[in-house]
Amino acid sequence: MRTSTKGLLVALLGVLLIAVGLVAFLFLVSGVSQGMRAGAGWGALLIPLVLGFVMLVAGVMTWFSARNADKKAENRALHSKSRSRGT
CA distance 22 to 41: 12
pLDDT recorded at residue 48: 82
Domain ranges across the chain: 3-85
Residue 57: closest CA among 5, 2, 15: 15
Pair 59, 3: CB distance under 8 Å: no
pLDDT recorded at residue 38: 55
Spans of the chain below 70 pLDDT:
31-42, 82-87
pLDDT recorded at residue 17: 87
